[in-house]
Amino acid sequence: MPSTLQKSVEETGSVRANGSCLIVMRLINAIWDRALHIVFEMRRFFSYLAGKKSEVQELDLKDVVLAKAILDVHRKRTHKEMTTVPLFSIRQIHELDRENALQTTRQRLKTLRSCKKELLAAGKITCDTLARLMPSVSWIKVVQDRPGGYLAFEGNGRIAAMQKVFTQSDGIEVEIEQYHFRNTRKIVRRLNRVRRLNGLLGTTD
């Protein structure tokens, strides 16, 4: 018949084994959740590319670097939030140098100018207004790279159109989706690499 000490040792070992199994299960669940999150974000990324398929046919190095930077943004974000920022606090990360993008921008300029007074009176361009006037596959998405300054990794065409129609003195604000990270500096470096390849780094900084 086992002694009290032996029983105690066996019970302690059992508790430790159960505790270890619980830790392993939690770890597996965490890894699985993260894997599902990455798959979901990759699906969103490829949906984004599908929405831009006319531009994808003309990809070059700077476009590949842009695509990789955007994928990193989605993979590494901790959270995101909708917020409102001054229009001229946002800077583009890539040029609008393809005919389809230029054609879209011209149409957006025409639309914005037709309702400029209405927008000036409102003082703010919300997501609902953006969707109505300049529909796109996503919201304007930004990363804060400095106090009061943002880099738009999605929505460059809409930003360019609005900044041509309005002036800084108009004080227009825009509703955007801001992404947050544990290491924002690393993400900003990647976005600035895109800006450098597009000849934008230093032009508005």
Model pLDDT, residue 61: 79
Average pLDDT on 78-107 reads 92
> What would the pLDDT profile of 36-78 be if each residue is shown by its tens digit?
555 555 555 555 555 555 555 555 778 888 889 999 999 999 9
Burial tier of 19 (Cβ tally within 10 Å: 0-12, 13-18, 19+): exposed
Model pLDDT, residue 120: 97
CA 162 from chain centre, in angstroms, equals 19
- Do the beta carbons of residue 48 and residue 138 sit within 8 Å? yes
Closest listed residue to residue 200, CA positions, set 158, 160, 146: 160
CA distance 85 to 149: 9
- Do the beta carbons of residue 188 and residue 52 sit within 8 Å? no
The 3-class SS string of 53-70 reads HHHHCCCCHHHHHHHHHH
Length of the chain measured in residues: 205
Alpha-carbon Rg of the chain, whole angstroms?
24
